[in-house]
Structure formats: structure tokens, C-alpha cells
């Protein structure tokens, strides 16, 4: 079996849970610990990728390029990765991230829109970066559609293609089916990114590995959007019990989680009623805090907002719809009363 390679996402996906308030010092400290534990890849960016610091997605406390640069300076083993969503991040953002030391880019699109990644993947390839196609909200596409879109990513030069469970909505049998289909259809590496909204992040990741995924994501202390991601230190421990080699130092990951990451977290990562609703309704995990704020503003139940967003199949990039839906639900409640 090809050695598994884990990408640590707390400094990107965890940006959502931190309200995009990471400081340079925090990024340095976490990167230093991950590097010492010999984590192969560390993703650093705004939660919505390069260029994501906006009013719509959430303003960053610190310029993301400064965070990326700080991570690069602290990492002599780990490679620094960035996320880019076409339409949010630009080719120029990508080139700048590469200039300051990013070695890998994960170009993320909705699961049915891989074609918008072409120029970004090709540019990254020309820059000499490692390239990843990141198919978000993969639970929303049937297997044949997922394979079709993954083949496009492969044709554009992706070294790896990920099935991304952005909502934490997939069940183990669905992960198994989709990862197996990707493994059978593609020649490049297959990856899987989990969220824990239904409590299945570790189980789903193991199902992905069993069926051919060799690139997987984890987040130290489960620091990520919604209920978080597959918890890296837990994942490493489970894989060691299974005698699957990761190359990551388990004790150092435990210490990092306990001593460095836990003290800076705004709240503990747990499956709350809202994060559970994300998985149940199949809604983008980063919508949780946006929905909670809208619920307070309009004095309605945040779960009702998330369920309605799921019915309308609202996806990442449509955060403005959260307030619109909340306003509509509040109006309906007034009429009913």
C-alpha cells in the first residue's frame, strides 16, 4: 500500500472556527509543532481560500500572505499548502503564494463545476507546484457525475483528486462507493476530506483509505468548520493501531493539540445542534456561524435556516443567501402568528 500522506487543515479549515482571527504568532506556534511531528503538508489560508478575506466570507485579522509566509519560515520538513476557490482567489493570488514559498495548491470547486479549475491547475503546474483538485460538497453528486468531474481535474494536471465532504453529510457506504469509483477510474492519487457533523469523520476516513484513498485530511484538536474535521491526533492513533504507517509522531501531535491549540480555540469542537443539522441537511460546514448570527438577528431557530438552505441546495459562495433565507423565515413566522 502506498504510504498515506496527511494534510493538516487546522490553519485553513480551522480559520472558520476561529472567525478568521489567526495571528502570526499562533500560526508560527502551530506550524512549528506540526513540523516537529513530521506532518507532510500544512494548509494555510483564509477558510475560504486565497482572497477569502471579505465582508461576505469573513474578514481576516491578519493578511493571509503574512500567515503563509510565517508558516513557510517555520517549516523545514512540512510543505505549506494553500486553498484556492476560483472566483474568490485569482491567478495572481496563486502566484504570490508560490513566490513566498507555498509548495502545493488545492483548487476547490463545487462538485459539478470542475471546469472552472482548469487555468488555475495549469498555472500551478507550470509554476512547479503540487496540484490537487478539490471537489467540494461531493455528497451532492451521484457516483458517475463525481467520476466525470474528477477526470476533468485529472486532465487539467491535478496530481491528486479529492472527494470533499464539505457538509459532513456522507455515510460510510457512500464514501466507500465514491472513493472506489474514483480509484478505479483515475490514475492519480485519490484523497478524502471529512467533516464530523454526523460523528463520522474518522469512520468515513477509514472507509476512504480502505477503498483506495492515499491522501487524507486531518485537523489537530478537530479545529475546523462545523463540528470540525477528522481529528489528526486521533486519526494517527487509530492508524497506528491498524499498523498503517503515517510517519507522524503521535506524542508530539497529542502535545500540540493539548498545549498549543486547545488554549487558543474560541470554543471546544463538539457536535452541537447546529453542526448536527449541517450534516443532516447536507449544508456547507462553514455556514454554521453565519446561520447562528442570522438567527439571532431575526429571532428564529438557526436549525430552520440550515434546513431551508439544504432544501434549496445552497452551496459555498452563496453565503449572502443565509440572511435572505432568515429574513423570509422570520416574515413567514410573523404571518403565521
What is the domain-level CATH number for residue 327?
Answer: 1.10.8.60
**Domain assignment of residue 164, given as a range:** 5-264
* Tens digits of residue pLDDT in 42-88: 999 999 999 999 988 889 999 999 999 999 999 999 999 999 999 99
Task: Read off the C-alpha cell for 66.
Answer: 503574512
- The pLDDT score that the predictor gives to residue 164 is 98
In a domain, 325, yes or no: yes
Task: Specify if 270 maps to a domain.
Answer: no
Annotated binding-site ranges for substrate: 12-13, 166, 193, 284
Instruction: Write out the three cell numbers for 166.
Output: 464539505
Taking only the tens place, the pLDDT of each residue in 305-322 is: 999 999 999 887 788 889
Same domain flag for 120 and 254: yes
How confident is the model at residue 56, as a pLDDT? 83
- 276 in any annotated domain: no
Same domain, 238 and 208: yes
For the chain, the domain total comes to 2
| 63 C-beta neighbours (distance < 10 Å), count | 12
25 and 103 part of one domain = yes
Alpha carbons 220 and 190: distance in angstroms, whole number: 22
Same domain, residue pair 148 and 40: yes
Query: pLDDT at position 265, please?
Result: 96
Q: How far from chain centre, in Å, is Cα 135?
A: 11
Does residue 1 surpass a pLDDT of 60?
A: no
Q: Which residues are annotated as a binding site for Mn(2+)?
A: 13, 193, 195
The one catalytic residue in 16, 20, 120, 139 is 16
What phi and psi, each to the nearest 5 degrees, are found at residue 244?
A: -100, 125
109 pLDDT higher than 90 = yes
Instruction: Tell me, yes or no, if the pTM score tops 0.85.
Output: yes
Binding residues: 12-13, 166, 193, 195, 284
**Per-residue buried b or exposed e for 163-201, using 16+ beta carbons within 10 Å of the residue's own CB:** bbbbbbbbbeebbbbbbbbbbebbebbbbbbbbbbbebb
CATH number at residue 215: 3.20.20.70
- Say if residue 109 is in the same domain as residue 216: yes
In the residue annotation, 20 being an active-site residue is answered as no
Report helix, strand and coil shares of the chain as percent, to nearest 5: 50, 15, 35
Q: Within this chain, do residues 315 and 180 fall inside the same structural domain, yes or no?
A: no
Regarding whether 206 and 137 lie in a shared domain, the answer is: yes
Amino acid at each position: 500500500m502506498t504510504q498515506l500522506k496527511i494534510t493538516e487543515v487546522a490553519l485553513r479549515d480551522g480559520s472558520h472556527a476561529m472567525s478568521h482571527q489567526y495571528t502570526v504568532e499562533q500560526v508560527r506556534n502551530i506550524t512549528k509543532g506540526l513540523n516537529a511531528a513530521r506532518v507532510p503538508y500544512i494548509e494555510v489560508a483564509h477558510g475560504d481560500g486565497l482572497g477569502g478575506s471579505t465582508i461576505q466570507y469573513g474578514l481576516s485579522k491578519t493578511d493571509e500572505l503574512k500567515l503563509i509566509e510565517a508558516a513557510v519560515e517555520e517549516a523545514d520538513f512540512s510543505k505549506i499548502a494553500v486553498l484556492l476557490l476560483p472566483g474568490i482567489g485569482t491567478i495572481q493570488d496563486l502566484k504570490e503564494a508560490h513566490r513566498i514559498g507555498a509548495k502545493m495548491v488545492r483548487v476547490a470547486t463545487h462538485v459539478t463545476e470542475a471546469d472552472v479549475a482548469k487555468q488555475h491547475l495549469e498555472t500551478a503546474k507550470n509554476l512547479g507546484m503540487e496540484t490537487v483538485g478539490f471537489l467540494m460538497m461531493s455528497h451532492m453528486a451521484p457516483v458517475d457525475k463525481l467520476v466525470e468531474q474528477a477526470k476533468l481535474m485529472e486532465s487539467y494536471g491535478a496530481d491528486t483528486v479529492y472527494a470533499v465532504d464539505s457538509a459532513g453529510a456522507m455515510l460510510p457506504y457512500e464514501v466507500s462507493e465514491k472513493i472506489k469509483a474514483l480509484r478505479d477510474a483515475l490514475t492519480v492519487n485519490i484523497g478524502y476530506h471529512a467533516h464530523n457533523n454526523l460523528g463520522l469523520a474518522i469512520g468515513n476516513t477509514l472507509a476512504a483509505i480502505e477503498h483506495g484513498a492515499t491522501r487524507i485530511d486531518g485537523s489537530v484538536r478537530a479545529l475546523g468548520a462545523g463540528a470540525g474535521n477528522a481529528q489528526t491526533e486521533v486519526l494517527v492513533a487509530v492508524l497506528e493501531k491498524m499498523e498503517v504507517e503515517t510517519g507522524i509522531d503521535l506524542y508530539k501531535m497529542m502535545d500540540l493539540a493539548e498545549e498549543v491549540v486547545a488554549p487558543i480555540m474560541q470554543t471546544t469542537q463538539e457536535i452541537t445542534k447546529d453542526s448536527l443539522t449541517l450534516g443532516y441537511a447536507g449544508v456547507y460546514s462553514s455556514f454554521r456561524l453565519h446561520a447562528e448570527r442570522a438567527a439571532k438577528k431575526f429571532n428564529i431557530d438557526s436549525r430552520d435556516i440550515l434546513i431551508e438552505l439544504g432544501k434549496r441546495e445552497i452551496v459555498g459562495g452563496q453565503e449572502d443567501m443565509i440572511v435572505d433565507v432568515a429574513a423570509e423565515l422570520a416574515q413567514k413566522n410573523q404571518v403565521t402568528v
